[in-house]
Structure 1
Amino acid sequence: MSPQPQAAVGAPLSRVEGRLKVTGKALYAAEHDVKGTTYAVIVDASIGRGRIASVDTRAALAHPGVLKVIHHGNAPELPYRDNKESNNPPGRRLRVFQDDRVLFFGQPVAVVVATTLEAAQHGASLVKVHYEAAQPSTDLEKAKPDKPTPYARGDAEKGLTSAAVRLDATYRLARNHHNAMELHATIARWDGGRLTVWDKTQWVLGTQTELSTVFGLKMDSVRVISPYVGGGFGSGLRCWPHVVVAAMAARETGRPVKLVLNRRQQYFSTGFRPAYDYRLKLGSDRRGRLTALAQEIDAETSSYETFTESVLFPGQMLYSTPNVSQAYSTVPLDVNTPIYMRGPGFATASFVIESAMDELADKLGIDPIELRRRNEPSQDESTNLPFSTRRLRECYTTGAREFGWDQRRANPRSRREGDWLIGMGMAAGVYDTARMPAQAHVRLNADGTAVVDAAASDMGPGTYTSQTQVAADALGLTMRTITFRLGDSLFPPTPPHGGSMTMASVGSAVLDGCNQVRRQAVKLAVEDPQSPLHGANPEHVVVQGGRLHVDGDPARGETYQSLLSRNQRSHLEARGSFAGPAAKQRHSFYAYNATFAEVAVDATLGLVRVRRMLAVYDAGRIISPKLADSQAIGGMVGGIGQALLEHTATDRRDGRIVNANLADYLVPVNADVPSLKAIYLDGDDPEADPLGVKGLAELVMIGVAPALANAVFNATGRRIRELPITAEALL
């Protein structure tokens, strides 16, 4: 069978929606023009735990423009049916305005709806809520953990006892918040018993499902629209209570309602990367071969839901370790529920494991890369399955060569430039190659254009562009003749836009649908006596630039337009699908990286400056190198934030987050970002999915924090086991 020419996939193309975004024509959730829109502002709890004693709304209702104030005393009772088809973790999800309980500081306790935003804001300030307050539990170190989730192989205790070299250290990682540019926003409108919402979400079908279960509606009575998302990092992976508030307010007032969370409210309302206390014990022989690994992990969750993430996997499969023991405990606190954040679980575990590997290398006097090479497994020791592809050794070699690793000085604090101590560090990274079932609808029109629909999202990685690239090559069309549409629950179902699964899952469905349509056209041509392709072997017909022809004989062919118009066909269409991974896996699927960093630390002040970074990725086939670079640079910047800046500070007295703003919660800015470079190993992973991709967006953040921490150690001789690494810790 002749392969389709590949012109778009692999090319460094600019975003197809780029012009819309830079000219302001791309509409985000709060920007849709819905006739008759009113405005809602949430009143949030000012205690961390307790009950609402009373709500005084008289002043708010007397304010000009205020239409209604809704709270637990007058809100309608909602069904809140079980919802197992979303990203809601186990537990009893927050039921807005359904009772008088306060479960965390910032919980929605009322909403003011008004004809203008200003009236709603002032009205909200006039609502007086009186509480019966109790002392909240917000300290991870003092609260009682849940029963741990265990994992074990071999005998870790015996392996540690017999180890020639041992480490025993406790690491602490601060809570992080997503802080995407676009604020979370929802516009809700009812048309009789049908609900339409324009929402900032990374999963339109998840929001549709949640709203249908909360309000007791049929799924097809709820439509969710979200064509553009201004960054998410995981914060949009579930339907948060404010979306329900907006829909409730719209139904109660009989008018469309727009609700936009302010920056402060997002710290209490849309999840976060949970804080961790993480104890690790590591043992090896004198040559650095690991003998045992033991991990005891405590992670915060809310009192009403149990959020967990994949923090155990790296310790089970990243290095060859015969004896492993793990215990992962969630710790219920009086906080809102955490959610996935870029590199979920893996980014946390990598900081601990890769810091410990660097410390072990220093103890043994072995180069950190060589230590990792000596512990490279031949298969996934957690499943005893072969790796589909695993090219970490090549990542190490390429990265060391390109970064100049041979210039690193093994002895800490041995390189100095004036007041600055210079250090180099590296770390390995790994992330699960996630795939889930997906569908896409493909329509090829008689004019030679095509439209592809899928209920996917695009929070920044470039879904519009990468899916168009796949469709262009599969249909044999140019990029400009294809329109890819997403972000509408009316489109074919797709999985959440997270976990690095969109390209593999949705892309494979797009590929399948486009292949079906192209084959329909080929079949029509070879069976049409009037076609130049009549009688040709369909397996030898390819399409390029919208023209079908015999491979090797471009003169024998015709365009889609001539074929369809002659046969009086307005279009050809098909629904493509991807079934997801097989129920019984034959391989272990992961993507990998090696990240290298150089830092300068002021010897007197303890200030850390990142001078340069480089990362090498084994991520399968790269659909769009330009988009991949955007992902890699963004991931490295995010890793700088996790390592050096981001930290949520909580007042333990009442659960208030005291730095709930971008002035006090520090994120990297231009001055913090050095020269960043990404390298992608050529190749694909045909076992993973039809496209051969392994996912990139999560992977690019994993390993950044430990690479920086290891560079700080090399510069200063100080081993910091708590994130973020602050100047105070280095003084």
Structure 2
Amino acid sequence: MTQTLPRTHEPSVGKPVDRVDGTAKTTGAARFAAEYPYPGLAHAALVHATVSRGRITAIDTTEAAAIPGVITVLTHHNAPALKPPRRFNPLDLSTMASGTSVSYLNTDEVHWDGQPVAVVVAETLTAAREAAALVEVSYTTFASTVDFKAEEPNAEPQKGNLLMSGSAKKGDAEAALAKAPVRIEARFTTPPHHHNAIEPHATTAMWDGDRLTVHDGTQSIDWLRSHLALRFDVPVEGVRVLAPFVGGGFGGKANIWPGTILTVMAARATGRPVRLLLTREDVYRTVGGRTPSTQRVALGARTDGTLTALVHTSVTRTGRVGGNPEQVTSQSKHLYDAENILVRQNVVELDLISNTAMRAPGDSIGTASIDELAYELGMDPIELRMRNEPERNPIDGRRFANRKLREAYRLGAERFGWADRTPEPGSMRDGRWLVGMGVATAFHPAWQFLANVTVRLSVDGSVLVRCGFQEMGMGGATAQAQIAADALGVPVESVRVEYGDSSLPLSPAAGGSMQTASVASSVLTACEKLRRKLARLGRPGDDPAAALARAGVPSLEVSVGSDTRIGRLTGQVRFLSKLIRDQRRWMKAASGAQFCEVRVDPDTGETRVSRWTAAFDVGRVINAKTAVSQLRGGIVMGIGMALSEETLVDPRTGRIMNPGLGEYHVPVHADVPPIDVAYLDEPDPTMPLGLIGVGEVGITGAAAAIANAIHHATGRRIRELPITLDKLL
């Protein structure tokens, strides 16, 4: 039997605890990947291909090599050999790590406009970039396919996997649609997007024989370590990856892109520590972004609003050398209790850099609104949603682990003042501005992977939690400190968390809103093991430190999981078994209601988001301050997706035409209104501590809410993102 330890402080879970790394970040003491000093440090710069498909016929580095300070220019003629990436293996998720399948500088083939074809290494960054601009490359070009719109008719069915399905159906949705008394059908399009993290991708690498140390802004320390060991043919135990601080990622730093590989290659070739800090344009050229999409949404209903048919199909793209298909229609399998459902995803391959995950991949661009049907029926959009709110998962009848969407809508509508809205489009004004109110549903599936941790309690009362997870600004270390503190009955100030280093117990990637739950599960297990050991040492009523002191034990440490080869394989089997078991039994997800108010100038089409309220069902909230910050950040990103963000790709050449923040427009302070964020704080009984995950659900539904508000303000239904001035005039 486990002894109940006395509590000497108030519980910290759920409280707005300040970030444990707040002082380091605000004072500049926190070091990021491009800020580590090494004696003899050299600097690298990339040379990019200017064709989308072809072969290098000549490469002249004479002028570049003549620049004072240049150490070497690496091309396919003199670059060290790489081993190719491995195919996907569900028992080794690091096989998902590589951003592309290209062997960088080990081939004369070009697969996308922007592919690195040379790396200049110099004593200074200025010299490296100056020399890179002088490298002359000639090509034989091949026919390429780069126009997504033109290739859409050639799309093929998207294959599913363990983590995402391609298609699903219930009944005959097309037949039911044709017979429905009321029906709507629409085509929606979304453009490519790029992540634009505050910290551009950067790597610092140093070899010591066959031992490698890498500082990298990665979202997946373990994947990167395994991938580098494979590509450079060295033991994984000899590779150390450090990423204690990552200046934002949003999915763009989850995979390993050319810059990281080429920095490590340059360090090996020169025998020097090397740093590569990508320019903003380099990021666009060498790091994948979000896929564009086209979507068909068709709804059929009875006159009372009951859905009889729901059809949601999509076309997205991948690169011919890699990329991740997106679960664009995923949420349509879960949101509405339609009698007949058809969801289908299709994909085309293009000669562009691989696309990759971007905050709430698929769900953020595929949260299809049913407002058009509400207007067709003359029904309030919230009433229509609630009339079709399912009791079980609509496709397969699985139970919802925790679904409080009705309560979220009720709370959000009250805080926003939805009752004050007049339903007719164009009926609300504020002086010269047309005023509109819109609403949409937020939804994102919940994931939980395996994490290894150690927890040590010392006789002075301090607790050390060790796990190699990633901190991208979401407050992960703070949350785990709160969880451990409450589990052991100690003040949160007594807990220190070590993270961001591959020498620590392995953690899953920071993505899919899964990291907090995954690590928390192991932390709770470790603390329970520690409590049992303490119970054997102390007496009833002893606090943890007193129990150690009485037993004459300086510290007590427990572990969960194993980083040995057998331990990792066993852990992966356990993970897959649990994943399959959970997927058969439960539908787990975070959800919420997004409410926004917009003002539109009727003469110019200028659109301003003037007010926002969101209410979320995200399970138990660990830290009130950081959770609200994450949800608010997702909403801000959704505002950009709705009104301004668009990567422009030349349909003739495949070249990105706006590779930087001068032309790719993200929201600034003047674009962001007051954002009121509320949450239910209702624990999910199937998740550790009842938490679900908050990093990605905030962006879902945000763009749809804005589009609905603009329609309410103007009567114009815009189905092509971003909603810019020209589309409203």
- Do the two structures share a fold, i.e. TM-score over 0.5? yes
Give the equivalent residue in structure 2 for 1:620: 619
Give the equivalent residue in structure 1 for 2:211: 194
CA-CA distance at 1:559 after TM superposition = 5.6
When residues 89 and 483 of structure 1 are mapped into structure 2, their CA distance, relative to the original with a 3 A threshold, is: closer
Give the equivalent residue in structure 2 for 1:638: 637
> Cα deviations across residues 584-640 of structure 1 (Å, max 9, x unaligned)?
222211111001000000010001100110110111000000001111211110010
What is the one-letter code of the residue matched to 1:192?
Answer: G
1:441–1:453: 8 Å Cα contact kept in structure 2? yes
Provide the secondary structure at the position in 1 that maps to 2:414: helix
Give the equivalent residue in structure 2 for 1:305: 322
CA-CA distance at 1:171 after TM superposition = 0.5
1:45–1:109: 8 Å Cα contact kept in structure 2? yes
Give the equivalent residue in structure 1 for 2:435: 422
Does 1:576 find its partner at 2:586?
Answer: no
Give the equivalent residue in structure 2 for 1:145: 155
CA distance in 2, matches of 1:92, 1:189: 24
1:306–1:332: 8 Å Cα contact kept in structure 2? no
2:695 corresponds, among 691, 694, 697, to: 697
1:511–1:576: 8 Å Cα contact kept in structure 2? no
Give the equivalent residue in structure 2 for 1:543: none
1:317 corresponds, among 334, 340, 349, to: 334
CA-CA distance at 1:135 after TM superposition = 4.7
When residues 4 and 131 of structure 1 are mapped into structure 2, their CA distance, relative to the original with a 3 A threshold, is: farther
Does 1:125 find its partner at 2:133?
Answer: yes
2:122 corresponds, among 114, 118, 132, to: 114
Does 1:490 find its partner at 2:497?
Answer: no
1:235–1:270: 8 Å Cα contact kept in structure 2? yes
What is the one-letter code of the residue matched to 2:676?
Answer: K
> Cα deviations across residues 690-721 of structure 1 (Å, max 9, x unaligned)?
21101111111111110110000000000000
Give the equivalent residue in structure 2 for 1:96: 104
When residues 501 and 92 of structure 1 are mapped into structure 2, their CA distance, relative to the original with a 3 A threshold, is: closer
Matches within 5 A, 1:124-273: 124-143=132-151, 144-148=154-158, 149-273=166-290
Does 1:7 find its partner at 2:7?
Answer: no
1:246–1:258: 8 Å Cα contact kept in structure 2? yes
2:78 corresponds, among 74, 85, 88, to: 74
1:39–1:259: 8 Å Cα contact kept in structure 2? yes
Matches within 5 A, 1:529-608: 533=539, 536=540, 549=541, 557=542, 560=545, 562-576=546-560, 581=578, 583-585=580-582, 586-608=585-607
CA-CA distance at 1:566 after TM superposition = 4.4
Matches within 5 A, 1:258-407: 258-350=275-367, 353-354=368-369, 357-407=370-420
CA distance in 1, matches of 2:602, 2:696: 34
> Cα deviations across residues 149-186 of structure 1 (Å, max 9, x unaligned)?
43222011211111111112111001111001001000
- TM-score, length-scaled by structure 2: 0.93
CA distance in 2, matches of 1:89, 1:118: 31
What residue ranges of structure 1 are gaps of 5+ in the alignment? 526-532, 537-548, 550-556
What is the one-letter code of the residue matched to 1:569?
Answer: V
Moved more, 592-601 or 213-222: 213-222
What is the one-letter code of the residue matched to 2:28?
Answer: G
What is the one-letter code of the residue matched to 1:261?
Answer: L
> Cα deviations across residues 410-436 of structure 1 (Å, max 9, x unaligned)?
100011122210000000111101111
2:72–2:121: 8 Å Cα contact kept in structure 1? yes
1:612–1:674: 8 Å Cα contact kept in structure 2? yes
Provide the secondary structure at the position in 2 that maps to 1:12: coil
Does 1:41 find its partner at 2:45?
Answer: yes
CA-CA distance at 1:19 after TM superposition = 0.4
CA distance in 2, matches of 1:487, 1:383: 40
Provide the secondary structure at the position in 1 that maps to 2:86: coil
What is the one-letter code of the residue matched to 2:487?
Answer: A
CA distance in 1, matches of 2:210, 2:430: 70
CA distance in 1, matches of 2:192, 2:95: 20
CA distance in 2, matches of 1:445, 1:347: 45
- TM-score, length-scaled by structure 1: 0.93
CA distance in 2, matches of 1:419, 1:81: 59
Give the equivalent residue in structure 1 for 2:161: none
CA-CA distance at 1:478 after TM superposition = 1.9
2:98–2:255: 8 Å Cα contact kept in structure 1? no
CA distance in 1, matches of 2:119, 2:195: 24
What residue ranges of structure 2 are gaps of 5+ in the alignment? 159-165, 562-570
Provide the secondary structure at the position in 1 that maps to 2:407: helix
Provide the secondary structure at the position in 2 that maps to 1:656: coil
Does 1:655 find its partner at 2:654?
Answer: yes
When residues 116 and 363 of structure 1 are mapped into structure 2, their CA distance, relative to the original with a 3 A threshold, is: same
CA distance in 1, matches of 2:377, 2:331: 23
Provide the secondary structure at the position in 2 that maps to 1:650: coil
Give the equivalent residue in structure 2 for 1:685: 684
1:174–1:723: 8 Å Cα contact kept in structure 2? yes
2:53–2:142: 8 Å Cα contact kept in structure 1? yes
What is the one-letter code of the residue matched to 2:252?
Answer: S
1:423–1:598: 8 Å Cα contact kept in structure 2? yes
2:452–2:506: 8 Å Cα contact kept in structure 1? yes
> Cα deviations across residues 484-535 of structure 1 (Å, max 9, x unaligned)?
011111111111101110111011111221222233223211xxxxxxx2xx
CA-CA distance at 1:87 after TM superposition = 6.5
The number of residues matched between the two structures is 697
When residues 360 and 523 of structure 1 are mapped into structure 2, their CA distance, relative to the original with a 3 A threshold, is: same
CA-CA distance at 1:89 after TM superposition = 7.8
1:83–1:209: 8 Å Cα contact kept in structure 2? no
2:634–2:695: 8 Å Cα contact kept in structure 1? yes
Provide the secondary structure at the position in 1 that maps to 2:225: helix
When residues 363 and 558 of structure 1 are mapped into structure 2, their CA distance, relative to the original with a 3 A threshold, is: closer
CA distance in 2, matches of 1:514, 1:460: 25
When residues 279 and 583 of structure 1 are mapped into structure 2, their CA distance, relative to the original with a 3 A threshold, is: closer
Give the equivalent residue in structure 2 for 1:541: none
When residues 698 and 4 of structure 1 are mapped into structure 2, their CA distance, relative to the original with a 3 A threshold, is: farther
CA distance in 1, matches of 2:39, 2:98: 38
Provide the secondary structure at the position in 1 that maps to 2:521: helix
Give the equivalent residue in structure 1 for 2:715: 717
Give the equivalent residue in structure 1 for 2:21: 17
1:135–1:653: 8 Å Cα contact kept in structure 2? no
CA-CA distance at 1:254 after TM superposition = 0.6
1:283–1:293: 8 Å Cα contact kept in structure 2? yes
CA-CA distance at 1:366 after TM superposition = 0.3
Give the equivalent residue in structure 1 for 2:564: none
Provide the secondary structure at the position in 2 that maps to 1:175: coil
2:97–2:223: 8 Å Cα contact kept in structure 1? no
What is the one-letter code of the residue matched to 1:138?
Answer: V
Give the equivalent residue in structure 2 for 1:481: 494
